[in-house]
Amino acid sequence: MRTADQHAHVVVIGAGQAGLSVAWHLQRAGLTAGRDLVVLDRAPGTGGAWQFRWEALRLGLAHRVHDLPGMHEMGLHFDDADRSRPARDVVAEYYRRFEEHHDLRVRRPVAVTAVRREVGSGPAGSTPALVVETRDDDGTTGVIRAEVVVNASGTWGTPFVPWVPGRDVFRGRQLDTTGYRDASEFAGQDIVVVGGGTSAIGFLLELDGVARTTRWFTRRPVVWSDDPDLALGAAVAAVEDQDRAAKAGRTLPSIVSGTGLPVSPRIRRGLARGLLQPEPMFVRLDADGVETATGEHVHADAVIWATGFRADLRHLAPLHLRTEAGGVVVEDGRAGAEPRLFLAGYGPQASTIGANRAGRRIARQVLAVLAADDGERSPARA
């Protein structure tokens, strides 16, 4: 079944940190949610990617979650949140309360299957639009014509797993970060964890004392950071690297590779126990394990690929934004090849604080596009 075509000034794709931040600023500027401003989210509930994270993860054990703009007036602060509850439940609850308080009218679960440039002309006097094709959970499809699209689809839907020889012959279980639920699933097993970021470390710490053995392999050396000032400087440099890559249309580099890993008290205890000992990436898998760079065979019942994510931009493929360098040209949140498309939470905006700050800047640019459209339609300009 297909719904009647709709029109909106702005469509925001994704209701995680970046999408909600942009939507809040646009609504505050006068756009009416559900009419001028349509926010679509493919997830079944609130919380963005956090709703899918594993049960044992608590706030403060991974990247900090920054408050959304407009949360303070509600008396909500993540710094005050209950850290005994799963982070996914806390974030989902706070985001739900945020959406309800500000009446953002997020439509979910709605998948965006494609974004296209409008073919032919619309109604008389209309501005050429971007066409957003949707599919609801029940299979109903629809089309929304939008003057501007803000893509905030994040990365959770596109985990990255590198190709390693033998990956297709390994008989044990293979899963990426999105498939990890609880350490108890691996009780008494030999586990190989791959990846040099906070998720890999979290898995190793949770598996300690539950799995029979764990081995940790990384594609690049792990750099630990004890100095907060050095860590901050490295973080700034890493974000700048991401920004340069986005402007050049290159594949985005890993943030962790540029910042190093801060040593929290929990990590320090793991280091002291000898648990967190990264090894160079293994050279291949076979039916029941991996072969290390030194020729050792390591038995494995499961391999957990905590190897990061890529920006989920598949629905933007009809716009042909990809460069020969493998990325998308984006400057200050705006797509170079399509001036009516903004990418919120992309590249240097990927952190929760980056997404928040970008929300205001992107909203201002969106409003400028809409104002220019109004000027073009004005009789005084005709």
- Which pLDDT tens digit goes with each residue over 233-243? 555 556 666 66
Q: Same fold for the domain at 6-157+310-377 and the one at 173-222+260-305?
A: yes
- Predicted confidence (pLDDT) at residue 380 exceeds the cutoff of 50: no
Per-residue pLDDT reduced to its tens digit, 121-148: 455 455 568 999 999 999 999 999 999 9
CATH class of 6-157+310-377: alpha beta
Residue 64 pLDDT class (50, 70, 90 cuts): confident
Residues in the chain, total: 382
Residue 65 pLDDT class (50, 70, 90 cuts): confident
Those residues whose C-beta lies under 8 Å from the C-beta of residue 270, and which sit 6 or more positions away, are: 201, 204, 205, 208, 276
- Predicted confidence (pLDDT) at residue 356 exceeds the cutoff of 50: yes
Task: Tell me 111's DSSP state.
Answer: E
- Predicted confidence (pLDDT) at residue 181 exceeds the cutoff of 60: yes
Residue 254 pLDDT class (50, 70, 90 cuts): low
- Predicted confidence (pLDDT) at residue 346 exceeds the cutoff of 50: yes
In a 13 Å sphere around the CA of 131, the CA atoms on its Cβ side amount to 13
In 3D space, the residue among 109, 106, 65, 108 whose CA is nearest the CA of residue 85 turns out to be: 65
pLDDT of the residue at 382: 25
pLDDT of the residue at 381: 32
Q: Which has more pLDDT, 294 or 240?
A: 294
Residue 262 pLDDT class (50, 70, 90 cuts): confident
pLDDT of the residue at 373: 81
Say if residues 52 and 199 touch (Cβ distance below 8 Å): no
**Could you count the other beta carbons within 10 Å of the beta carbon of residue 149?**
26
The tokens of 334 are what?
A: 């705006």
Rg (CA), the chain: 22
Question: Where exactly are the structural domains of the chain?
Answer: 6-157+310-377, 173-222+260-305
Say if residues 57 and 125 touch (Cβ distance below 8 Å): no
Residue 250 pLDDT class (50, 70, 90 cuts): confident
pLDDT of the residue at 100: 97
Superfamily of domain 173-222+260-305: FAD/NAD(P)-binding domain (3.50.50.60)
Q: Which has more pLDDT, 220 or 228?
A: 220
Residue 27 pLDDT class (50, 70, 90 cuts): very high
**Could you count the other beta carbons within 10 Å of the beta carbon of residue 165?**
12
**Could you count the other beta carbons within 10 Å of the beta carbon of residue 274?**
7
- Identify the weakest region by mean pLDDT among 78-92, 122-136, 282-296: 122-136
The percentage of residues in the chain with a pLDDT greater than 70, rounded to a whole number, is 86
- Identify the weakest region by mean pLDDT among 29-38, 139-148, 253-262: 253-262
Per-residue pLDDT reduced to its tens digit, 195-205: 999 899 999 99
